[in-house]
Structure 1
Amino acid sequence: MTVNQTSVSLDDAQRVIAAGLATAAEIESPSNIAVVDAGGNLVAHARIDGAWIGSIDISINKAFTARALDISAEDLAANVGPGNQFYGIHVSNGGRIMIFAGGVPLRHNGQVVGAVGVSGGTGEQDTTVAEAAAKAMTTGRR
């Protein structure tokens, strides 16, 4: 049996980040934006001038979370409270699982090929930027 796995390319990652940066500028969110490949490894990262340094790792880990679990960080967060199915998941994977908004899987032809993570704004801002960035993956436009 042969398994073919497609992964986000550097060109894809740069297009996704460019779309995220444009949206972050529009909504005035000081964002860090990270894109990981199908294996959850960093492909590209951008930090808007003045964005928190502490949010660099958070953006990368939000992207990792979205790819590792193939779920948006926001949807995951809705299920992590006591008694819910993902309670305690944030301590798995060496603490890399982020349980707040801003991570979105990237899909191509219905297959997850990577993910984008955004950190630095409010949860709503991070989600807005991440969703706009992810849209660039499916539309092929910045």
Structure 2
Amino acid sequence: MSIPYGIPLTLEQAQRAAAAAEAEALRNGWPVVIAIVDCGGNLVLLHRMNDAQIGSIEIAQAKARTANNFRRPSKEFEEQVAGGGAGLRTLGMLGVAPLEGGLPILLEGKIVGAIGVSGVRSFQDAQIAQAGIEALSTPS
């Protein structure tokens, strides 16, 4: 069963998630780009930290849209590609960034948007994104 979409997240929620993600990146000395989209895949917030590479701007957005539009972490597509064989078909799918670091944002069991992070190794991007998600699951 697929996870339903909910009411789009607000700018305030996106800012809270981005602040927590940035704090995680700063703790580790990782310059990244953080992108947050609403449940329609529309950009709500884009934050490029100092010294983050320019190429990460598009990649962070693509990871966020992948997680939102396909209702799953972008890592699942990375794993399909890494598996080879039929999984390589993923590379031909439009709108898929098969890179870890994109996570759907769920509130009350519904997808309200997604966060994508790019700038360091993919598993580190995912760690930063997870910090953003966790900020929304705790009361402000």
TM-score between the two structures when normalised by the length of structure 2: 0.89
Are 2:125 and 1:126 equivalent residues in the alignment? Answer: yes
Q: Is residue 65–residue 114 contact of structure 2 (8 Å, CA) maintained in 1?
A: yes
Inter-partner Cα distance in structure 1 for 2:102 and 2:22:
15
Partner of 1:83: 85
**Residue-pair matches, total:** 135
Q: Is residue 35–residue 60 contact of structure 1 (8 Å, CA) maintained in 2?
A: yes
Percent identity (aligned): 36
- The residue type equivalent to 2:126 in the other structure is T
Aligned-CA RMSD value: 1.5
Inter-partner Cα distance in structure 2 for 1:70 and 1:40:
11
Inter-partner Cα distance in structure 1 for 2:6 and 2:109:
12
- The residue type equivalent to 2:8 in the other structure is S
Are 2:71 and 1:63 equivalent residues in the alignment? Answer: no
Partner of 2:38: 37
Q: 1:78 Cα deviation (Å)?
A: 1.2
Q: Is residue 19–residue 132 contact of structure 1 (8 Å, CA) maintained in 2?
A: yes
Extract structure 1 runs of 4+ deviating beyond 2 A: 80-84, 86-93
Q: Is residue 80–residue 90 contact of structure 2 (8 Å, CA) maintained in 1?
A: no
Partner of 1:72: 73
Q: 1:5 Cα deviation (Å)?
A: 3.5
Gaps of 5+ in 2: none
